[in-house]
Amino acid sequence: MGKHSRNKGKRWEVAVVNLLKQHGLPAQRTAALQAHPDDTDPDVTIKGQAIHIEAKHHKKDPSKEAFEQANRQRAPGWFPVAITKADHVEPVVTMSLRDISEWMEQGGFVLPNAEVRMSLPAWLDLVKEYVRTQ
């Protein structure tokens, strides 16, 4: 991966962390933990939450690959999440409906199993509510 691509990825990870922090979520980059090529650490974490976040910004939509990476690399019991952005397109969040359903069961909601993409603001609202009810 070229320097420009690495810098673009780093800027996006920092932007995701800052956005999560703006919404009161204690987020951090885990770049220091990603020093080896077979790393399984997420790009971003939310302190105290079992959420494996892969943050990717590419020319074309990277959501499918990023979600597959999060799902493959997550620790047991962690929710895989991809927060992605393609050039000139609004960012989206991808996670499985099964995982969203697990979060929402506390409120009596049940959703079918599938994969879903949603806007970043909608996902932030969902995560803030989840964190608030724990």
Picking from 101, 60, 51, the residue whose alpha carbon sits closest to that of residue 81 is 51
Structure-model confidence comparison of residues 107 and 89, the more confident one: 89
- Overall domain count for the chain: 1
**Structural domain containing residue 61:** 3-133
| Alpha carbon distance 45, 11 (integer Å) | 16
Q: Check whether 112 has a pLDDT greater than 60.
A: no
Q: Provide the whole-model pTM.
A: 0.77
Distance of alpha carbon 128 from the chain centroid: 14
Task: Provide the sign of the torsion angle of the four alpha carbons 89, 101, 69, 22, taken in this order.
Answer: positive
CATH code where residue 81 lies: 3.40.1350.10
Q: Check whether 14 has a pLDDT greater than 90.
A: yes
Distance of alpha carbon 100 from the chain centroid: 13
pLDDT at 1: 65
- Span between the terminal Cα atoms of the chain, in Å: 39
